[in-house]
Structure 1
Amino acid sequence: MIDKFVETYTKKLATKPECIEISTRNITEEDGSRTCEICVSAHSDDIGRLIGKEGKMIGSLKTLISGAKAKDGQNYRIFIQAAKQ
């Protein structure tokens, strides 16, 4: 559910939304907590747009996702990387 939200959000920000790819990986930490890593691959021209000035765009996305943590108790990490061309 969160990964679909991140995909929709990033595609609306990107100038080349067809290059956006989302991959997820679930991890169980040593203390028993669950973490979902969300990796966003985007065209190199869109990396700056997704991170935003002083990291404000990615920060706002992390803030929205932190609300989901309160509901389902799972941690989330987001990574943005340039897609392999």
Structure 2
Amino acid sequence: MTETDRFYEYRLAVHPDDVGRVIGKQGRVAQAIRTIVYSVRVQGNKRVRLIIDDQPAKTLE
């Protein structure tokens, strides 16, 4: 989670091969995930943002 002045930002890391499964038909699965995340009540005026990231994470060598 990353916090900015306006948002609490959550990043969902997905392997590129699994992006289709996470998004689902017509985006239904992704929308369901977003609905759950957005239903979280936060104090103050900040909003919640979900980013689905299909880029492989950098690994330490």
Gaps of 5+ in 2: none
User: Aligned pair count?
Assistant: 55
Match of 1:25 in 2: 2
1:51 is displaced (CA, Å) by: 1.0
Report the Cα distance in structure 1 between the residues aligned to 2:34 and 2:56, rounded to whole angstroms.
24
C-alpha RMSD of matched pairs (Å): 1.8
Match of 2:21 in 1: 49
Report the Cα distance in structure 1 between the residues aligned to 2:20 and 2:13, rounded to whole angstroms.
12
Q: Provide runs of 4+ in structure 1 moved above 4 Å.
A: none
2:14 maps to 1:37 = no
| AA matched with 1:26 | E
Match of 2:56 in 1: 84
What percentage of aligned pairs have identical amino acids? 24
1:25 is displaced (CA, Å) by: 0.9
TM-score by length of 2: 0.70
1:81 is displaced (CA, Å) by: 1.8
2:40 maps to 1:68 = yes
TM-score by length of 1: 0.54
Gaps of 5+ in 1: 1-23, 30-34
Greater RCO between the two (CA within 8 Å, min separation 6)? 2
| AA matched with 1:27 | T
